[in-house]
């Protein structure tokens, strides 16, 4: 049995920070395990019933609510019993600035959220069953953090340019277009993104290839090297295995249905 999953675009009132909402429900005694593959954005995750268990890099139950930040390697997660999860996939540099938090992942690969601030909205959303009501509650909450509206800054603009050009453009060229030094860009991203510019581009390339490659199909390494803007096949395999824990051949030949759900695909 696969989880039931629904995706929603945010309303205009929340689109300044939210890119997409994902709702996952799973009710079964069977244990379902797969990977969360790193993304170039971040997510606020709310668990309203059973809390999934992280299997790796550490083994423990996930918190009731937290931020899933940009991380360098995939996590393994398992579901069992009654699960009811809401995920708000967000723009990382905007979210970190709006909440006043650092997005550097700790030992557990998540970022804790202030209990007093988030407990009331978590409780209110837990009492609702419909995604639309939960999105409305969350949007009202997040907008309350920026009552005068959000104005992007240089870090936001740097991130946006990297998302726009990071697949087909080398990092030095992006830095040159930004008109800043690599050290300045590193400093901007350290707290607001929790990942280096180089790591961000590596993650973007993996997700791009995943988006254009169907599961179970023939793997053409020449095409993947070209489309992902890698130097050669060894560069592709090394990067892919470092981030996903699997070679492209192994990853794309298996059933990725659950991994897609866990990874917000």
Q: What CATH number does residue 120 fall under? A: 2.60.120.10
Q: Residue 170 belongs to a domain with what CATH number?
A: 1.10.10.60
H or E element, residue 189: helix 182-192
Q: Which of 93, 111, 144 is the last residue of a domain?
A: 144
How many CA atoms lie within 13 Å of 24's alpha carbon, on the beta-carbon side? 28
Domain enclosing residue 127, as ranges: 4-144
- Percent of the chain's residues with pLDDT above 70: 97
The confidence score (pLDDT) of residue 218 equals: 73
**Model confidence, pTM:** 0.93
The residue among 137, 195, 120 whose CA lies nearest residue 162 is: 195
For residues 27-42, average pLDDT: 95
Q: Give the model confidence (pLDDT) of 123-133 as tens digits.
A: 999 999 999 99
Question: Could you count the other beta carbons within 10 Å of the beta carbon of residue 168?
Answer: 12
Same domain, 104 and 167: no
Span 23-44, mean pLDDT? Answer: 95
**Residue 105 scores a pLDDT above 80:** no
Q: Residue 7's closest CA among 19, 28, 30, 23?
A: 23
Question: And the tokens for 19?
Answer: 């890119």
Q: What is the distance between the alpha carbons of residues 126 and 86, in angstroms, rounded to a whole number?
A: 10
Question: Looking at the structure, do residues 22 and 138 belong to the same domain, yes or no?
Answer: yes
* Total Cβ atoms within 10 A of residue 131: 16
194-249 residue pLDDT tens: 899 999 999 999 999 999 887 666 778 898 999 898 989 999 999 999 999 999 99
Is 177 found in the same domain as 88?
no
Environment class of residue 68 by beta-carbon count within 10 Å: exposed (0-12), middle (13-18) or buried (19+)? buried
Q: Same domain for 193 and 62?
A: no
In angstroms, rounded to a whole number, what is the distance separating the alpha carbons of residues 171 and 177?
Answer: 10
CB-side neighbour CA atoms (13 Å) of 237: 10
At residue 175, does pLDDT exceed 80? yes
Pick from 92, 119, 144: which residue ends a domain? Answer: 144
Asked if the structure places residue 92 within a domain, the reply is yes
Predicted confidence at residue 135, as pLDDT, reads 97
- How many domains would you assign to the chain? 2
What integer is the mean pLDDT of 1-18? 92
One domain, residues 26 and 138: yes
Query: 160 and 133: one domain?
Result: no
16 and 45 share one domain: yes
């Amino acid at each position: 049995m696969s989880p039931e999953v629904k995706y929603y675009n945010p309303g205009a009132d929340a689109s300044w920070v939210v890119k997409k909402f994902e709702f996952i429900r799973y009710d079964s005694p069977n244990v379902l395990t797969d990977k969360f593959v790193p993304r170039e954005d971040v997510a606020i995750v709310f668990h309203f019933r059973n809390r999934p268990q992280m299997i790796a890099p550490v083994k423990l139950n996930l918190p009731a609510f937290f931020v899933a930040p940009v991380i360098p390697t995939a996590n393994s997660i398992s579901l069992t019993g009654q699960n009811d999860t809401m995920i708000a996939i967000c723009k990382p540099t905007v979210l970190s600035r709006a909440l006043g938090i650092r997005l550097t992942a700790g030992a557990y690969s998540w970022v804790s959220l202030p209990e007093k601030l988030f407990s009331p909205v978590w409780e209110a959303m837990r009492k609702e069953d419909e995604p639309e009501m939960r999105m409305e509650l969350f949007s009202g909450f997040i907008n309350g953090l920026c009552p005068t509206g959000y104005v992007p800054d240089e870090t936001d603009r740097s991130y946006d340019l990297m998302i726009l050009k990071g697949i087909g453009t080398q990092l030095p060229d992006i830095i040159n277009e930004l008109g800043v030094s690599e050290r300045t860009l590193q400093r901007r991203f350290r707290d607001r993104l929790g990942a280096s510019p180089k790591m961000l581009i590596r993650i973007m390339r993996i997700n791009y290839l995943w988006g254009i490659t169907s599961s179970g199909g023939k793997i053409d390494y020449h095409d993947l090297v070209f489309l992902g803007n890698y130097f050669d096949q060894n560069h592709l395999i090394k990067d892919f295995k470092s981030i996903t824990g699997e070679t492209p051949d192994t990853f794309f030949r298996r059933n990725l249905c659950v991994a897609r759900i866990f990874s917000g695909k």
